[in-house]
Chain A
Amino acid sequence: MFGRFSSAARTLTRASTSRVFVPPPQVVVGAKFFSSTPPPVDTITVTVDGSPVEIPKGSTVLHACETAGVEIPRFCYHQRLSIAGNCRMCLVEVEKAPKPVASCAMPAMPNMNIKTTTPLVKKAREGVMEFLLANHPLDCPICDQGGECDLQDQAMVFGSDRGRFVETKRGVEDKELGPLVKTVMTRCIHCTRCVRFAKEVAGVEDLGTTGRGRDTEIGTYVSKLFRSEMSGNVIDLCPVGALTSKPYAFTARSWELKKTESVDVSDALGSNILVDTKGTEVMRITPRLNEEINEEWISDKARFQYDGLKRQRIDVPMAKAAGGLAAVSWEEAFEKIAEAVSKASKDEIKGIAGKLADAESIVAMKDLLNRLGSGNHMCEGFPTLGADIRSSYLMNSSIVGVEDADAILLVGTNPRVEAPVLNARLRRACLSTGATVANVGSPLNLTFPVEELGMGAATLKELDAQSHPFFKTMKEAANPMIVVGAGLVGREDGLALLQTLHSLAEKTGVVGEGWNGFNMLHDSAGRVAGLDLGFLPSESAKKAAAKVVFLLNSDDFDEADVPADAFVVYVGSHGDKGATRADVILPGAAYTEKSSTYVNTEGRPQRTKAAVAPIGQARDDWTIVRALSEVLGASLPYDDLNAVRARLAEVAPHMERTTEVEPSTWLNGSTYAHIPAGTTSDAPFTSSVANFYMTDAVSRASVTMAKCTSTKLT
């Protein structure tokens, strides 16, 4: 009987990721070390089910059991949240303890003898399960959590086959948390994971517990919405079906879905995601664990913008005709482009890479333009930035490194809307290690205290001249950090401001031995790849007036970059600003439909995977450029994905080593030494993202994101 129980118990915590305990290296007494060894961690030995385990001092009984390979059922315990110890599902027996102990909350003591397979433990778990099921509705067949529900799974193991409960079940009124999270509060088992997540990670104290005993309810107390950019994560955290996804409601069952590991492109972090598909449709997007980027959280935009993949899509090539745009064949579209290109020469042919452009299509476009004799290519929104020095446009401290910073200066950025997951890390740096955060730019409403230093260039100059008190704070900090937003770099005087910031970085020791705290936070997924590949205008191209413009997924281009009389070709997936301006539209694939490389803001190349086929006649963006190149008489020498990736690796070798960050070198003040100091304007610094929910073509096409925007405004 116990055998059955333990084997089943091992499969219980499917949803939670168990941490693997790595024992500290054994220090051999008397051995000589030339390098410094990490200080030995104090460990204690405990016994779990008869076998001794060594665990670090201060860890819990649950941790000891996991180390020993024994899975303990749990509802309220989550390794990234504080310990609540209120579900009592993780009860185990400890020798000499008068009653079963909650293993998640009990610190392990030396020589503790822990038993997890005794009749007492089994009885305790069955008892807890019976109490939980007493008030839990029997609506699994219509519950969206069905099939991936912790309570369902554990009830199969510990639940009784009949109930002893004869009274009516309690009913709880559903709460309105906004357009993303659906609540069925009767199903709630009060594990308080959502409350702890909101308070600890998201940093909004909207959720809480009211009432006692049978009347306990989770809610917002006064009726209000759950205003967080990471609110969707409570759906994953909820072990039952109390909090589920509103857009996903009743659309699919978990066992019908095919999971594809991919990468998010809604912001520059490149959060790892799972794309769940049924047939040819993306049904939902959930986070995938990556400790170095997003841990197990993703922003609401990453999670819920997928319905934008079905709207406003371009599915056939189109060309401008007498009565507006009309569908044409690929040949006709290519011929029109060829005709326009034949009238332009060299630098008059221009390419602009947009927010969602992937590295493969950028390199193909660059090769094509170069073959046509043009050096006129640029990333949208970066008029002055150079890409000669990689450290000048990357998040050099890495995303994990943010947590080590102790004095953080935000310049022209709002991490809460530009990268909510990074904002959660900043919050952790601020609250757990006591980092001081200051802001130069429009006042911010972040989830942690921020010192407002000033609005614009004047404050920056004051800091650089060492006359501002915050200069001292940065100078004295061990790991000072500067976070520069894309909004600042996109300004006319961006280069001059970056010069000031580099000088400030040098003076305050932002870059030192083993620490580089000069961070640029980009606002879009395609940007760093464009800079890495040198998708920037050549000297001669800066003066050229474009006659033919290729918009590569570019929807947020500057009007000045696309002359009114230019022939515009849009390559992309959505009918947005770019397609409206275009003379010829070539349908590209969206990020869930192609296997392509994106480089995140810390310079980490990652690859998306095609989860579904491109719709209609849409093709992978780089194949469009490749086919076009042949029609233009400048054939590109790659015919398949491996060949274009080989070319990618030739231009930027780090792109081959996906998921790894290639360290960049800091040129101690000489990055901008050759550029004369520019003038700055007094306009206040602002974030480049005005509305978190709508930043690119996909999220602008999403109905869910539109609903979020309208609820945000009210």
Chain B
Amino acid sequence: MLFREVCREMPWIVENYWLNEVTTVSKLRSQVANEFRKVQTDNSKVVDVLIFKGQAEITDILGHHFNRHHLITKYVAPMTEDKILINQTTKKSAFLTNFLKTPPPGSTGGFCSNQEGWALSMKCLTRIVCFAS
């Protein structure tokens, strides 16, 4: 129940604590899930205390009694330890695919003048050909 409640508030937290620069909602959610999974106990008293502390924590977070860096240190930073996983098989974004494509010479950038110049010279050429014929 507590985990679901936390998950419901996750987008609000990410937005209001400016966490979208450092993490995403799903990443944060899996991190919090890990926190829950860490607990290996059947002792109901311990579970009660943990739920109580978790409830207190989410109340504090929603009340903005935490600062941004508190959340980063506690929940975001542990994730960055194993963050650099270069997986070449993952799907590339459109940007990267486009970037890696070797451009044909002289056609990079939308501002290129030589395209205009080329069109112009073609126009002139056509005219010259017309004259000649």
Contacts and interface: CB of A to CB of B under 8 A. Distances in A.
A330 B95 CA distance: 14
B62 to A, nearest CB: 24
Interface in A612-664: 612-614, 616-617, 619-620, 623, 626-627, 630-635, 637, 639
A279 to B, nearest CB: 5
A258 B116 CA distance: 10
B108 A613 contact: yes
A280 B83 contact: no
A609 B86 contact: no
Nearest to B110: A610
6 contacts: A342-B86, A346-B80, A612-B114, A613-B111, A623-B95, A635-B93
A337 to B, nearest CB: 9
Nearest to A627: B99
B43 interface: no
B111 A610 contact: yes
A139 interface: no
A610 B83 CA distance: 36
Contact of A630 (B92, B105, B107): B92
Nearest to B84: A342
B132 interface: no
A642 to B, nearest CB: 13
B96 interface: yes
A461 interface: no
A508 interface: no
Nearest to B83: A633
A611 to B, nearest CB: 7
A456 B122 CA distance: 64
Nearest to B105: A616
B40 interface: no
B130 interface: no
Contacts of B63: none
Interface string B92-106: 111110011011011
A373 interface: yes
B84 to A, nearest CB: 5
Contact of B106 (A345, A613, A639): A613
A617 B103 contact: yes
B83 A373 contact: yes
B21 A372 contact: no
B113 A611 contact: yes
B87 interface: yes
Interface of A: 258, 260, 277-280, 329-331, 335, 338-339, 341-342, 345-346, 367, 370-373, 593, 595, 609-614, 616-617, 619-620, 623, 626-627, 630-635, 637, 639
B84 A372 contact: yes
A631 B96 contact: yes
Given A342-B84, A614-B108, A280 B114 contact: yes
A345 B102 CA distance: 32
B86 A370 contact: no
Contacts of A371: 21-22, 80
B109 A258 contact: no
A280 B111 contact: no
Nearest to B112: A613
Given A342-B84, A612-B112, 8 more contacts: A277-B113, A279-B113, A279-B117, A341-B84, A617-B103, A631-B86, A633-B87, A634-B84
Contact of A335 (B81, B88, B94): B88
A211 B68 CA distance: 77
B99 A623 contact: yes
Interface of B: 20-22, 77, 80-81, 83-88, 92-96, 99-100, 102-103, 105-109, 111-114, 116-117
Q: Could you say which of B22, B77, B92, B95 has the most chain A C-beta atoms within 10 Å of its C-beta?
A: B95
A632 B96 CA distance: 12
Given A279-B113, A372-B80, A633 B99 contact: no
A633 B109 CA distance: 26
Contacts of B105: 616
A346 B80 CA distance: 9
Nearest to A346: B80
A331 B100 contact: yes
Contacts of B114: 279-280, 612-613
Q: Could you say which of A372, A610, A637 has the most chain B C-beta atoms within 10 Å of its C-beta?
A: A610
Nearest to B77: A373
A609 B111 contact: yes
Nearest to B95: A639
Contacts of A609: 111
A548 to B, nearest CB: 11
A49 B6 CA distance: 82
A631 B88 CA distance: 8
A593 to B, nearest CB: 7
A-B interface, 6 closest residue pairs, ranked by CB to CB distance from nearest = A610-B111, A338-B86, A373-B80, A613-B112, A627-B99, A639-B95
Contacts of A635: 93
Given A341-B84, A372-B83, A280 B106 contact: yes
Given A613-B106, A627-B96, A339 B86 contact: yes
Contacts of B95: 623, 626-627, 630, 639
Contacts of A342: 84, 86
Nearest to B100: A330
A615 to B, nearest CB: 9
A358 to B, nearest CB: 15
B113 to A, nearest CB: 5
A617 B105 CA distance: 8
Contacts of A620: 109
A619 B21 contact: no
A611 B87 CA distance: 38
A613 B109 contact: yes
A627 B101 CA distance: 12
A633 B79 CA distance: 12
Nearest to A647: B21
Contacts of A260: 113
B110 to A, nearest CB: 8
Contacts of B117: 258, 278-279
A610 B115 CA distance: 14
Contacts of B84: 338, 341-342, 372, 632-634
A368 B106 CA distance: 30
Nearest to A341: B84
A220 to B, nearest CB: 39
A611 B111 CA distance: 7
A662 to B, nearest CB: 22
B93 to A, nearest CB: 6
Contacts of A367: 21
Given A338-B86, A370-B22, A373-B77, A612 B96 contact: no
Contact of B86 (A330, A345, A632, A639): A632
Contacts of A610: 109, 111-112
Nearest to B92: A630
B107 A613 contact: yes
B77 to A, nearest CB: 7
A331 B117 CA distance: 33
A288 B27 CA distance: 50
A338 B100 CA distance: 16
B22 A633 contact: no
Contacts of B116: 258
A350 B103 CA distance: 30
